[in-house]
Structure 1
């Protein structure tokens, strides 16, 4: 029997998880962007393009500090009597930052950490504690959507906002055209950022037809697929790239990259070629990272630093309990 073990820590899931409801047909994929379907095959690294002077890596982290219950207003129940029902909410900390890598060094360009209270209770107010203020954010609950999903989405939206803020701020410190911005995760909501790519480490959708999908698992280190266009709700160009790493499962080391849909095709292809030259040098090794090689070294380091800046979870929980008692 031949088999391979996924190199990722099981706590992070698998590197490839297919969602049967999101297939190529549902995603409205246009394959013939760079090549005709008949000519699809691995795109080998071309002559190395001029590397950007700076590569900026953007990422964010989030952590739920406590689940809270917000009493419903007494006047909606029994007049002046104490409330007998409550609405669940979450108290969370979240942070985003940018690591700047040049040819000789890497440093934290900027970061920002916030705390928030996420709830569907319209009368909710910010919670002030000795460890900081949890600013109230009203979550939108959609029909048939679980409350937990609505709260998580509201938290993720706030995290995306500060990711965009720190990315724009990093660009403002050196307003030139000689950089590449790598956003950890989909580029949704951030396509207006120039020279930006979305970097997707795990795969939940099979965007390509079965025969072309199989080609992805046969890519060699540094090779990519031709560019294709995805148009399911929000459009973007995309391609798959294999990073260097130890042999393993067919999709080990495969990442999907996407960029803005308003770029000219020639510019997209140039950007795809650039990723082949730039990203492999940041690929992590198994003995250093359980999500190797997809979890790039700058992103892994940024995640550790941002989690440190969130503060001690036990102290934050205690501060929330004290504030609730008061």
Structure 2
């Protein structure tokens, strides 16, 4: 029996769902070349960016709490989250350009106030309850939105302080909400939806390391241009090392595709250094480690929350 092993660490979930979900997105494969001429595209000589700015964020739930709202209590999350930018440039190499850390009380109680602790303040992050969504999922989605806002703020701050007129901004994840940022691409490591018809999807499996598919348009609640790229080293399975890169819809997307192809392969990780290789790019992995260190010690924060809760004097 012959088989191959995907190097992606299964503890992070699958890089590719065994059965990709059918997508309702509107797809136009003719952005760069007509669909009948789809084939793997080799790297082309392009000017390297003056700097590559990698944007990512991390989150951690420090405690689940119950917020008193009269006769009943509502489930809430006390969470620490951070976002930052790792800048890679010839002058300074890879260095942390921006790091923003927040602590939040994510709650459906509209008038909830923040929680002051000896380890810092958890600012109230209110969100609306939904009858059709489980409370924990509502809170988790709200936490993810709050993290996205910090990621956007970090990216904008990096562009002011460390940006170059010829830089490239690489956002870890979809570009949603950040498509207005100039020279920005979204870097999607795992795949849940099947966007291409079978005859074009077969081109993805044919990609060799460093090759990409042609650019195609993808329209859901927002429109963007996107393409698939295979990172080195050589694959063991048809979708090993495949990432999807996206850019704002427009004439610059083909140029960004060529630039991403020449740039991202330089930062692909290797199996013996990263369990999510090659998709977890080295600068992103380094940024995640730096941000997690800034979240603080979980046990210290948990004890601080317990002490703050014990000091609250019940009304009446």
TM range (shorter): over 0.9
Aligned to 2:6: 6
* Cα distance in 2 between the residues matched to 1:142 and 1:188: 23
Which residue of 2 is the match for residue 98 of structure 1? 85
Match of 1:274 among 227, 238, 259: 259
Provide the aligned C-alpha RMSD in A: 1.3
The 8 Å contact of residues 54 and 172 in structure 2, kept in 1 or not, is answered as yes
Q: Is it true that 1:69 corresponds to 2:66 in the alignment? A: yes
With structure 2 as the length reference, what TM-score do the two structures score? 0.95
Structure with the largest fraction of strand: 2
Give the alignment of 1:188-267 within 5 angstroms. Answer: 188-261=176-249, 263-264=250-251, 267=252
SS in 1 for 2:226: strand
SS where residue 104 of structure 2 aligns? strand
Q: Which runs of 5+ in 1 are unaligned?
A: 74-82
The alignment partner of 1:273 has SS state of: helix
The number of residue pairs the alignment matches comes to 310
Task: Give the distance between the partners of 2:153 and 2:4, measured in 1 at CA.
Answer: 41
Q: Could you tell me how far apart the structure 2 residues matched to 1:285 and 1:311 are?
A: 29
| Structure 2 alignment gaps of length 5 or more | 312-316
1:161-198 deviation per Cα after TM superposition (whole angstroms, max 9, x unaligned): 11111111111124542100000000000001000000
> How far, CA to CA, are the matches of 1:27 and 1:141 in structure 2?
28
Structure 2 CA distance for partners of 1:211 and 1:141, relative to 1, 3 Å:
farther
Whole-Å Cα distance in 2 between the matches of residues 102 and 34 of structure 1? 30
Name the CA distance, whole Å, in 1 between partners of 2:185 and 2:272: 27
Which range is displaced more, 205-214 or 172-181? 172-181
Match of 1:296 in 2: 281
List structure 1 runs of 4+ shifted beyond 3 angstroms. 18-22
Structure-1 separation of matches of 2:60 and 2:196: 34
TM-superposed deviation, 1:149: 1.4
